[in-house]
Structure formats: structure tokens, C-alpha cells
Structure 1
Amino acid sequence: MNFTVYFPPAAEAADAKLPVLFYLSGLTCTDENVIQKSGAQRACAAKGIAFVAPDTSPRGLGVEGEAESWDFGVGAGFYINATVDKWKNWRMYDYITKELPELLAAHFPTLDTSNTAIMGHSMGGHGALTIALKNPGAFKSVSALAPICNPVNVPWGQKAFAGYLGDSDKEAWKQHDASELLASYTGPKFPLLVDTGTSDPFLTRELRPEALEAAAEKAGFPITSRLQDGYDHSYFFIASFIEDHIEHHAKALLG
């Protein structure tokens, strides 16, 4: 597995201990897309926040069919642990919540892995939301750009869950759905920011931010969910609002 870490200039201090912002990428991406296209480094440099961008799935295993479609398999791990044996190496949930933080703590002493936030785009937005909701108190803040909010009810999620988890117990899928998790969430609240573009071609079919808003209302959970007029699903959208999101996390991480 590959991942990228951006260290801000504050990392050069002898006693540096930097808060960590995890960024989970969307379908088809690697760890490099956000590093090359988002401009996140400038805002992280100003705030003294380390920016960690993992890959979206295992690669190079040669599993039959792993690269047959762009929305399943390679580049499309969905940040869950697969239970179907064929896809047993697709354990992105464990990778993000256990393996990667332990690796960072062991090898990069300037990173404070006890002071973290998480965000993501599209499939990665789904991942950021579900991981935070399934691990109450683990992250100081959460945000998402054009997240898949209700995957059990949209084609991208249904395809991924059927493939990785099997389709014999669709009730189990709800444990990987941010809207379902938020509706029944009783853990500590965290600052939550969601942005979606009104011109996103996937808005109504795949993203469904209104489902997340309804779940937040049901749970009495404060959420800032914004529709940004004219923006689509691309990295131009991400680059336009990445500074807002890093500011959102800086308030929680830095106090």
C-alpha cells in the first residue's frame, strides 16, 4: 500500500508534534490525485497540519476481475472490510483505522496520531463519514466533499456492497451507510461540514446529501451541509473549497 504525507514547515521544529488530517480519495483515485490537484498543502502549511492521503484500494494482487470496472475493485475499495472470500484483501476499513495510524506513529514521531481529523471526496467522503461514526471520539472533526451519503440506496454503493459483502444480508450493509449510522448515532458530537455542487452529475442518483441531512435531524446532530451553486464533482470543485475544509478542521485540531 502506498500513501502520501505532506509535512508543513512546522515539522522542522525540534519539538514538533503535528495534528493529522486524513484525506480519503474517491473512485479511480490513488494517493497522488489530491496531492497534485487540490492545493491542500498551502492551507495545511499555514495551519501547521500534516496531511495524510492513503490509496483507495489494494493494487497488484491479480485477483480475477479486479480491474474490469472503474467503480469496483482496483481504485474502488469503499473503505470497508470485504467479507466475500475472493476480495479478502480489500480491508480498507482496518487499513485506515488501525494499520496506517500505527505505521505513522511508529515511523514519523512528529505526527500526533492522537489528534486527528478526517475528510474525503465522493467514495472517500462516504469513508470519512462512516469511519468517524463507527469510531466515536476518534476524530476531532469530519468533513466531506460530494460524499456518497446513502450507499445502500444508490447504484455505486449497491454494486460495491453486493460484491464485497455479498447480497444475502442486505441489512448488514447499513453498517456501512452514513445516513443509517447517523440516524441512530449516540456518541460524542463532532464538527461536521459537507459540501456538494448543484451541477454535480451524480447529485440525485448517487450522492443524496438530503438523506444525510434528514438523518442528522433525526439524531439531533449538528451538521453544516451546503449546496454550492454551479459546481460539479471534479477536482476544480475540491480545490475551490479545500481551504474552507482545512479551516474547519484547524479549529478543532488546534483549539
Structure 2
Amino acid sequence: MKNLINLSLPILAFILYFGFAPTSEAKTLSYKNSTRTVVLLKMSAKFEINDNGKRKGLTLEDQDLDVTGNISQSKNNNVSYEIITFIVSWNGTNYQFILTFNSSKESWTWENSTFVVKETILPLKKMISSFGDGIITTKANHSYVCMSPLDYTTKSVKGITVSVTWRQLQVEVYPRNNTKFDEAPKPCTVDVDDKIVPIAVGGALGLLLLLVVIIYVISYIRDRRQQSKELRSGYNRIDQPEPNHHS
């Protein structure tokens, strides 16, 4: 019985670690014009560049970044909208992470995302579609959030590829509060589908804890009963009179 308890403890530790393992802190970046915040972005991201065999790792955290952007006006079917480019550059390098949005009075759309190595453009649009939502469109004054980890590697262009891992993503175009996201964000499909994972982990954890408690109680009761039997057996031996031997 004790062996079962000892076996269950590492399983419990495994579930606790991998079910509730902490993730790195997401970083908030913003592109502002003269009057307000145009794009507010929060995410934890890692980029690994393979430039013809030479590898370089980059993150959004704890590195010297320059955030810029530009806005151009356009019109389609008599609907006016803006094309917004959000650019993150690593100072002292030739690397850029670029997000492109379309924004109108009613909604905004995340159109594209690319990574630039020197002058080589590596599209990340297929990674955006891996959120499960295709082209991402959100109502004005609402943010878009995708907390699930996503991994993607671009196709090789001129011998260059970029592998990207990001999580804890939240983005909003023209947030009403210049420094805070909308309180009712639109979740990505991946997050909605993955809600079953923590539920399953919690259920497995609860069952395992219950099993450990039951095993412990059974083991405790058996030990007490065994001790009681041994005590009674000892008392019986003491109470029995020694036999008389007559010649």
C-alpha cells in the first residue's frame, strides 16, 4: 500500500508542473501618433533566425527595441479605412517584426505579419491563420487575445528561415484607453478549444488526490488493526497461566 502512495506522488508532481507550469512574462509594446495610441500589443515571443547556417535568437523581452509605424489612407467601395503598419526593430541589427492592420470606424483587421532579415521578407501570415480564425477581424474598441502557445517556421527564402514561438498574445487597434486593453476581448478559436485541457488536468489532479487519500486511510486503518491484534495477542500470552509439571 505504501508503494502505491510512493508511486502516486511523482505522478502528482508531474501533473502539477506540466499542468500549471509558469510562462515567461509578456511584454507590452505600443505605436503612438501625436494624439493617441494606434496599436497596443502584448505578447511573449521568441524568434530563431537561421541565416544559411548561422543562427541568432531574439526575444521581445529584455532586449533593446525600437517601435515605430506608419498610417496610410485608403478607400474601398466608398468605405474609408486606414492601413496601419506596426514595426518592431532590434536596435543594432537588421531584424524587424512587422504587423499590418486595416482599420475602419466599425472594425479592424489583422491582415498580415512578416519578419525581415536584412532585406529578405519572410511571411508569417500562415501562422496567424493557425489561431483557427482565418483572417482576424474584430469590432472597433475591442481587443483580440490568444493565450495559447503557437509555433511556426517560415519557408526558406534565400537560405533564410525564422522559427517563431509566441504566447499570451493580445492586440488592439485604437484602444479607447491608450494604455489598457478592452475589458471584453475576443478570444481566438485555439483558446476556446483548449479550455478542455485545464479542465481535464484539474479533474485528473482531483482524482489522483482522492486516490492518495483513500490509499492512506486504508493503509492507516490496516496498520491500526494489525497493531491491535498484536497487542491482544501479547495480552493473551501474559494472562495464560504457566502449566504445572508433576513428576
More helix per residue = 1
Q: TM-score range by the shorter chain?
A: under 0.3
Q: TM-score, normalised by structure 2?
A: 0.23
Which structure: greater strand fraction? 2
